[in-house]
Amino acid sequence: MRPDPDYQPRATRLRLERKVALITGGDSGIGRAVALAYAKEGADLVLSYLSEDDDAKTTEEAAREFGAKVLLVRGDISDEKHCKHLIGETIREYGQLDILVNNAAIQYPQESIEKITAIQLHKTFATNIFAQFYLCKAALPHLKAGSNIICTTSVTAYRGSGHLIDYASTKGAIVSFVRSLSASLAQKNIRVNGVAPGPVWTPLIPATFPADHVSEFGSDVPMGRAAEPNEIAPAYVFLGSDDASYITGQIIHPNGGEIINT
Ligand code: NAD
C-alpha cells in the first residue's frame, strides 16, 4: 500500500508540549480547569480575566506547579482594543500562539424578554460573541498551520433557555461562528472547534442564579448532577492537541447525557 498509512500517535508524550495557549476567563471555573489541564500537558499560558486578581493569581500558582509559564492579562474583552492588546502581549511574551480558547462569558437570568434591557443585551453579546470575533481576527496573523481555536458555547444553544434568552442566543451564534470560521480556515490547516457544556459547578452559577435553582442545578440531566470543571477540561485538551488534527467545525458535548439535536 503506497503511501503507508500513519499509525503512530500524533501527540508528543505531553500532549501540548511546546504549545502556547491563550485562555479567556482563565482565572475561574471551566477556564481555570482548562488552564490546569493544559499546564499538566506541557503548555505555556496566557490567562485573560476581567478583574478578579486573586482568582487569577490562584490559577497562576496552580499552573506553575505543573511547570507552566503563565502570563496574566487583566481587562475587558468586550473592547476590541483590549483584544488586540491581549494578542500583542501573547506574542511579545512567547513569540507564538498555538491555541486560542475563547471561553469567557457572562449571563444575567431574567424571567421574560421584557426584562432584558438593551444595555444587558449589548453587554451580553459584546462579551460572549463579539469578543470571540475580535480575538480570532487579531490572532489570525499569528496562527500557523496546526494552530487551533476552541470556543465555549453551551447546551443552551441547542435546547434554548427561557430565562437566559440573550445568553442562549449568543451561544447559538458561537456555534455558527465555529462552523463558519472553520470553513474559512480549513485550507490553512487552522482548526476551529467548540465545546458545549451542560451544567457545570462554577462560580458563575451561585453568582447568577437564585438559591432554589442553585440547589437543584444539574439534577435534570440524565446523569442527575452537574459536572465538575475538571470533567469538562479534557475536551479542550483533546481539541487543542494534535490528536484532533482531522477535526474542525465540530462541537463536543460534555453534558451529562442530554441528547441534543446538532
Ligand atoms: P465563570 O464565571 O467561573 O468564569 C468566567 C470568567 O470570564 C470570569 O471569571 C471572568 O474573568 C471572565 N470574564 C467575564 N466577562 C469578561 C470580560 N468582559 N472580559 C474579560 N473576561 C471576562 O464561568 P464558567 O461557568 O466557568 O463559564 C465559562 C464558560 O463556560 C462560559 O462561556 C459559559 O457560558 C460556559 N458554560 C458554563 C456552564 C456552567 O454551567 N457553568 C454551562 C455551559 C456553558
142 has pLDDT over 90? yes
Q: Point out the residues that are catalytic.
A: 167
DSSP state of 144: -
State the distance between the two ends of the chain, measured CA to CA, in whole angstroms.
37
Which of 22, 24, 27, 30 most suits a substitution to test ligand 1, by most atoms within 8 Å of the C-beta?
Answer: 30
How many other C-beta atoms lie within 10 A of the C-beta of residue 163? 17
Provide the pLDDT for residue 59.
97
Which of 28, 158, 205, 258 most suits a substitution to test ligand 1, by most atoms within 8 Å of the C-beta?
Answer: 28
Provide the pLDDT for residue 5.
86
Provide the pLDDT for residue 11.
73
Provide the pLDDT for residue 7.
84
Helices 29-40, 233-240: axis angle to 10 degrees equals: 50
Ligand 1 center to residue 127 CA distance, Å?
10
DSSP state of 176: H
Nearest-CA residue for atom 22 of ligand 1: 50
> Percent of the chain at pLDDT above 90?
93
76 has pLDDT over 90? yes
What digits encode the pLDDT tens for the residues 178-222? 999 999 999 999 999 999 999 999 999 999 999 988 999 999 999
* CA–CA distance, 188 with 186 (Å, rounded to integer): 5
Average pLDDT over residues 23-45: 98
3-state secondary structure of 192: strand
Nearest-CA residue for atom 6 of ligand 1: 25
Ligand 1 atom nearest the C-alpha of 232 is 30
DSSP state of 145: T
Q: Which residues line ligand 1 (CB under 6 A)?
A: 24-25, 27-31, 48-50, 52, 76-78, 103-106, 127, 152, 154, 197, 199-200, 202-205
Question: How many CA atoms within 13 Å lie on the side-chain side of 57?
Answer: 4
Helix (H) or strand (E) holding 66: none
Ligand 1 center to residue 102 CA distance, Å?
10
Confidence of residue 1 (pLDDT cuts 50, 70, 90): confident
Provide the pLDDT for residue 10.
83
12 has pLDDT over 80? no
In the chain, which residue ranges form alpha helices assigned H by DSSP? 29-40, 53-64, 80-94, 118-125, 131-139, 156-159, 165-185, 204-208, 211-216, 233-240
Provide the pLDDT for residue 60.
98
Ligand 1 atom nearest the C-alpha of 30 is 26
DSSP-assigned states of every residue in 195-248: E---SB-STHHHHHS-HHHHHHTTTTSTTSSPBPGGGTHHHHHHHHSGGGTT--
Average pLDDT, the chain: 96
Sign of CA dihedral 183, 184, 186, 192: negative
Provide the pLDDT for residue 9.
80
Higher pLDDT, 10 or 56: 56
Provide the pLDDT for residue 75.
98
Place of cell 434591557: 117
Provide the pLDDT for residue 185.
98
* CA–CA distance, 17 with 21 (Å, rounded to integer): 11
What digits encode the pLDDT tens for the residues 115-131? 999 999 999 999 999 99
Provide the pLDDT for residue 261.
77
What Å distances lie between residue 16 and 98, 186, 236, CA to CA?
Answer: 10, 21, 11
Average pLDDT over residues 151-159: 98
Confidence of residue 6 (pLDDT cuts 50, 70, 90): confident
Domains of the chain: 20-252 (3.40.50.720)
Confidence of residue 8 (pLDDT cuts 50, 70, 90): confident
Ligand 1 center to residue 18 CA distance, Å?
26
Average pLDDT over residues 42-52: 98
